Chain A
Amino acid sequence: MPSQESEPGPESVQPATEASLVERARQGDPTAFNELVNRYERKIYRMARNITQNDEDAEDILQDSFLKAFTHLDSFQGQSKFYTWLVRIAVNESLMRLRKRKSDRTVSLDENIETDEEPIVREIAVWDDNPELRYSQGELRGILDQAIAGLKPIFRTVFLLRDVEELSTEETAEALGLTVAAVKSRLLRARLQLREKLTRIFRRKGDQIFGYV
């Protein structure tokens, strides 16, 4: 009997591509909807929670985003990935809720950030080798979430889309209605601020934090 590795299995055992799931969902196949939910629900919930910093909002955003996406599936052009489109819907929902809850100006993504201002680095220290291995998954998740929560929403959102959800710079710009230059500038600041926060936790024991650039 041939081994599974040497013989390609029947098509039904291969994971369905996103495009074929979307096509089947368009035809009204309920298993396709469920499969799309199972694939992306955790990431969408995580993103919504990270942007809003609120569990209840994240749950509402999760539901609203999938329902909106499925309701408007016919208008989805298929030029971008379904996932990117879903993320865009979820980001808009998240920012809307954030604005509703706070009348904080920092929530505005259109805020004219001083893009010409030089980035500053205050704390420089070598990290331990694989510092993340010192922590359990739960502890590490807590550390990373807390660091993200300390960023302004404008930086947080760009970082989440680019470095956590791994959208391209152009996709991030499109999703947030920003220019590519604005995305790059905010991403740099977000990365440097997170690096600084994590340096305080992950630096090599015994080493002093030094330097100022």
Chain B
Amino acid sequence: MVTCKDFLRELSDYLDESVDPAVRQELERHITQCPNCWVICDTTKKTIQVYKGMEPEPLSDEIHAKLIQLVEKHCSQKHEHEA
């Protein structure tokens, strides 16, 4: 019999689909009977999704240009060193 605490302990592995099929079945039975755990599971899943879906912000032109300049300098120094 899975308790709410058992469910919480397994929640991450359950969402990552890395629990054994037998355990998975037990956990799924629990959430059909426990509205609190169902909500926790659903909102944790959505938390992960919302972060995964967030594209990184473009860098400012200045930061990008500085980085490219540094990398180019590094390449030319390496090239001279190896020549």
Q: Which residues from chain A sit less than 8 Å from chain B, CB to CB?
A: 28, 30, 33-34, 37, 41-43, 45-46, 59, 62-63, 66-67, 70-71, 118-119, 121, 124-127, 132, 137, 140-141, 144, 159, 163-164, 166, 169, 184, 187-188, 191-192, 194-195, 198-199, 202, 210-211, 213
Q: Are B43 and A70 in contact (CB under 8 A)?
A: no
Q: Does any Cβ of A come within 8 Å of B23's Cβ?
A: no
Over the window 31-71 of chain B, the binary record of Cβ atoms lying under 8 Å from chain A Cβ atoms (1 yes, 0 no) is: 00000110110111011101111111111000110111011
User: Least Cβ distance of B44 to chain A in Å?
Assistant: 5
Q: Does any Cβ of A come within 8 Å of B75's Cβ?
A: yes
Q: Are B75 and A195 in contact (CB under 8 A)?
A: no
Complex formed: what's the CA distance from A14 to B63 in Å?
A: 28
A71 touches which one: B11, B74, B79 (CB < 8 A)? Answer: B74
Complex formed: what's the CA distance from A146 to B9 in Å?
A: 26
Q: How many residue pairs at the A-B interface have CB separations less than 8 Å?
A: 124
Complex formed: what's the CA distance from A66 to B64 in Å?
A: 12
The 9 sampled A-B contact pairs (Cβ below 8 Å) are A28-B75, A30-B75, A37-B68, A164-B51, A188-B12, A195-B40, A198-B46, A202-B46, A213-B5
Judged by DSSP, the binding face of A is helix
User: Least Cβ distance of B69 to chain A in Å?
Assistant: 10
User: Least Cβ distance of B15 to chain A in Å?
Assistant: 8
User: Least Cβ distance of A40 to chain B in Å?
Assistant: 10
Q: Are B46 and A63 in contact (CB under 8 A)?
A: no
Q: Are B63 and A62 in contact (CB under 8 A)?
A: yes
Complex formed: what's the CA distance from A207 to B74 in Å?
A: 57
A66-B71, A70-B74 are contacts. A42–B59 as well, Cβ < 8 Å?
yes
Q: Are A67 and B71 in contact (CB under 8 A)?
A: yes
Q: Are A124 and B56 in contact (CB under 8 A)?
A: no
Q: Does any Cβ of A come within 8 Å of B2's Cβ?
A: no
Q: Are B47 and A41 in contact (CB under 8 A)?
A: no
User: Least Cβ distance of B81 to chain A in Å?
Assistant: 11
Residues of chain A within 8 A (CB-CB) of B37 are: 213
Q: Are B13 and A184 in contact (CB under 8 A)?
A: yes
